[in-house]
A and B are shown apart, each in its own frame.
Chain A
């Protein structure tokens, strides 16, 4: 499953990140790393709001599509 399909309110664990290298580098540095658990707080239009640990991150769905979770 990828992060785009996760329902609002659900908590999932990140398995893998794919896609453009520079995008992966960025989101990983912001905390979206393998093995971390994230909660989907809100989906709005083309973006998704995530909570990981104590930070909140907005990513566009094209990135979320490349993040595999379980």
Chain B
């Protein structure tokens, strides 16, 4: 028997931040990005699941308030719905704001596509005393209604059942009836039974005589009359199905906002939060990083060496493993704790709903730059990773604002840069936290200079109006929080295992080529690096080993470290030590325990621990510290900060803003980086 293809294509549609992506993640087991602010999803995303013999394809769309799009992300949702209509719409509604959301529902119903209505955030509705009579709602609209909690996943199964039932029984919603005169005109335009209400309205709006007729009848333009009819539908339906119970408890959001959005207290708290973020991500991860470093060098490396010798491997293989694999890839991996902690904290910020509030607080500052407070959201996301931050500019309505913000984002220092900074700052400076903090500030300053310059030259134009919704404060579930962190970590580990690994091999090979090369500086790597020295010498980089590492670092900044590690280790001499597997293993375990203790202890210590520098240096640190001085290390970090040495960023820029913009920006960032490093180096040398 031939099995029939049973596919259902379902689009998730609703206002921004109502929980569409959260529901999809539960429905299809995806790990798509979720956050408590409007505009998280800016691209069409998919997921699928099997249920009752059906393959259900879900399409997650950016949130929209109306079917009259203004920004790019809204166009994506609009175009999808009108150009490739799905079999069914899953209209997600934020139940506490049901009346507002039902306006979009009216517009969606006009499309004539079968629909399942999802009343999400039912938990919050309950707390606010909003009680919906689902049966009555189903009866009035002629469709299935499901109550869900997108945070915990309650009601997910009911969605699937409702979809299949709607599909099998061919349930189509009742047609909405607008006011009498409007309906009369619409009906008279009908040429076939197949025409949807949306098509009739479109015809009406193109019909000169009817437009006049409506103005005469209602005393208002037709557009407005139609809109008001939709509002009336939403209002009427809401009053019909919602029972409001009086509640006595004050809302936590109102309470918190009184402080967090206070013009003065709010600003102080903002800086305090940023400080804590910075401190915790360092102090908590540092003990683990130190431990990992030791684990790799004092345990894994010798143990592996021992094993390889046992197997009778030649010296070259041994060197390959200790230099390219452990030295290069392993070294980058020691920064995993830092990456994990920083993403954990940033994700927490995104989940709570504080992010858009920063935008509100800082609007005054952004306004001076000719930008809306809202544009701060992509900029802040840039501290997590520049790539999604650039994509997030799709929510902006004006092209000018969008380009301006895209040109600022790459100067927001991301965790990849932090990894590089933390290595150099800790190796060279007594006060690493201060150095790194200053670098972050420098990045922001360069972004400001860029924005001001652009605004005065090629991106002139005035500021448009500004509207933004502030969500209530919410807490993520732990599962959600760690899920997100895991997605980032996986990405980091994957890169280490593929890209960084491949680069390390290439670097290692080029250090050992041409065959039989005696001195490392005569190798291919050495020659290339030396050829670059004239460019970098003025900014204090005189060592070919550093300039060589900069080339592959264009793929991703942390590669600068893996490459340097490979190069320096390939050059350095090794000391042989006694090594006992069992004893070492025990030592490592105790090391991990004390690192954990130290990490948690740091949480109750108000001062940044990273101000205190440990005395012992790892292998690489001591060699690098011999080939550079403080000043050239600083200049190098500045160069890495400002130069957009990241293939991912440049390619997404290319896609979102065009080839000319991306390449122009790359050159600009290189020049700015060089110039800033040059100034710092020269001024520093004079002091």
Measured CB to CB, the residues of A under 8 A from B are: 20-23, 25-31, 33, 41-42, 44-47, 49, 51, 53-60, 62-63
Contact A45 B469 (CB under 8 A): no
B213 interfacial by beta-carbon distance below 8 Å: no
Stretch at the interface among B99-107, B324-332, B583-591: B99-107
A44-B364, A53-B99, A55-B100 known; A28 vs B263 contact (CB < 8 Å): no
Contact status B367-A45, CB under 8 Å: yes
25 A-B residue pairs with CB within 8 Å: A23-B467, A25-B66, A26-B66, A26-B70, A26-B467, A28-B227, A29-B65, A29-B100, A29-B103, A29-B104, A30-B65, A41-B257, A41-B261, A44-B263, A44-B364, A46-B363, A49-B261, A53-B96, A54-B128, A58-B373, A58-B466, A58-B467, A58-B469, A63-B465, A63-B467
Structural contact, A60 and B466, CB atoms closer than 8 A:
yes
Instruction: Assess the A29–B66 pair: CB atoms within 8 A.
Output: yes
Which B127-173 residues have C-beta < 8 A from chain A? 128, 130
Contacting pair B467 A57 (CB below 8 A): yes
Total count of chain B residues near the partner, CB < 8 A: 35
With contacts A42-B257, A60-B467 known, is A47 near B360, CB below 8 A?
Answer: yes
The smallest C-beta distance from A54 to any residue of chain B, in angstroms, reads 4
A54 in contact with B97 (CB, 8 Å): yes
Chain B: which residue is nearest A54 at the CB level? Answer: B96
- Cross-chain contact of B469 among A25, A47, A57, A62 (Cβ < 8 A): A57
Pairs of residues from A and B, 10 with the lowest C-beta to C-beta distance, nearest first: A45-B364, A29-B65, A60-B466, A54-B96, A31-B100, A56-B470, A29-B66, A58-B468, A55-B97, A63-B465
Q: Is the CB of B470 within 8 A of A49?
A: yes
Question: Of A28, A49, A54, A62, which one neighbours B360 at CB under 8 angstroms?
Answer: A49
Could you tell me if A58 and B470 are in contact, using CB atoms closer than 8 angstroms? yes
Identify 4 new A-B residue pairs, CB closer than 8 A, beyond the known A26-B467, A58-B470: A29-B65, A30-B467, A31-B100, A54-B96
B14 smallest CB distance to A (angstroms): 12
Chain A positions within 8 Å of B470 at CB level: 49, 56-58
Complex: how many Å from CA A47 to CA B360? Answer: 8
Is B315 close to A, CB under 8 A?
no
Instruction: Report if A60-B465 is in contact (Cβ < 8 Å); known contacts: A44-B360, A46-B363.
Output: yes
Residues on A with beta carbons closer than 8 Å to the beta carbon of B654: none
Which residues of chain B have C-beta atoms less than 8 A from A23's C-beta?
465, 467
CA distance A58 to B70 in the complex (A): 18
A46 surroundings in chain B (CB, below 8 A): 363-364, 367, 466
Bound CA span A34–B104, Å: 17
For B96, the chain A residues whose CB sits under 8 A away are 53-55
B672 interface contact, C-beta 8 A: no
Compute how far the CA of A49 lies from the CA of B263 in the bound complex, rounded to whole angstroms.
12
B261 touches A33 (CB 8 A): no
Instruction: For B360, list chain A residues within 8 Å (CB).
Output: 44, 47, 49, 58
Rounded to whole angstroms, the CA-CA distance of A43 and B263 in the bound complex is: 9
A2 to B472, CA, bound (A): 26
Q: Is the CB of A56 within 8 A of B231?
A: no
Interface status of B431 (Cβ within 8 A of chain A): no
Chain A residues, CB < 8 A from B254: 41, 51
| Interface of chain B residues 450 through 475 with chain A (CB within 8 A) | 465-472
Known: A58-B360, A58-B466. A26 touches B367 (CB 8 A): no
Tell me which residues across on chain A come within 8 A of B253, comparing CB atoms.
56
Query: B70 to A22, Cβ gap below 8 A?
Result: yes
Nearest-neighbor residue (CB-CB) of A51 within chain B:
B254
Q: Which of B476-533 contact A (CB under 8 A)?
A: none
B180 within 8 A of A: no
Decide if B5 is an interface residue (CB 8 Å cutoff). Answer: no
- Most chain-B CB neighbours within 10 Å: which of A21, A25, A29, A62? A29
A58 to B468, CA, bound (A): 5
Residues in B whose Cβ lies below 8 Å from that of A60: 372, 465-467
Residues of the A chain whose Cβ atoms lie less than 8 Å from the Cβ of B65: 26, 29-30
B100 touches A59 (CB 8 A): no
The docked-state distance in angstroms from the alpha carbon of A6 to that of B565 is 63
Min Cβ gap B21→A in Å is 19
Q: Give the chain A neighbours of B130 by CB distance below 8 A.
A: 54
> Closest chain B residue to A47 by CB distance?
B363
Q: Please, which residues of chain B bring their CB within 8 A of the CB of A53?
A: 96-97, 99-100
Q: In the complex the two chains form, what is the Cα distance from A56 to B104 in whole Å? A: 18
A residues in contact with B68, CB < 8 Å: 22, 25
